[in-house]
Structure 1
């Protein structure tokens, strides 16, 4: 076993298969769709533009019940109250013309953690601890609003 002060690359663990990416619409309500940022178990996150501003638009999959859709909008409202430099800003939430709920967030360009590690290798211990501290602080801000990431 490696000493804790040494960094090591962990094997990539894959989870359950993600839902296939849906066909990308040109528009969703007032949002111009420019691509898909990601697809998860409960939603699709689109790259979009609204009023000239790049946004990440999260739209739950169609199979959500009305109760789950309402919960999505409640959680969006709770997330909108969180102010933290490591948590993306909520710009808007509501319903699209077809009545599906959405969450529009400020879109930040950059690399994923996996892409960064692939290019630069593992963090040194000091950098990893600083990152962990920032993530723990962000998680505390979410928990202060009774939010837990479950997706």
Structure 2
């Protein structure tokens, strides 16, 4: 999974550079530059994913799910913009296709990671429930001893 994140980052960066050059060369309307904000956000998110995969302290599945959720939202926003402005802003087909491929890859990774996160959350909840129930249970996991026990009175 870490390898996929690295290639994703490289693809986004290359695409961003190619598009930035095309938009500058054309001298298009100012709205053609608005994709740069989306690309900068995407680059930052990919950098976070790469940093986490290379770090000793790994993300929890829930943190990874949230990060890939942001990446997916960013991709959806980028795809919407590309679709609306492809002709007007002379967006190269290679950039549009590369962005779409990255977006689909992120969506697939997010689905897997969020499935793992949901399973982890479920298992944590079950463990907490068992711990709470276990606090009142007996030594061997049964209901424990109930009732009273009287110590013998006498020469103790």
TM-score (norm 1): 0.31
By percentage of residues, which structure has more helix? Answer: 2
- RCO (CA 8 Å, sep 6+): is it higher in 1 or 2? 2
By percentage of residues, which structure has more strand? Answer: 1
TM-score (norm 2): 0.31
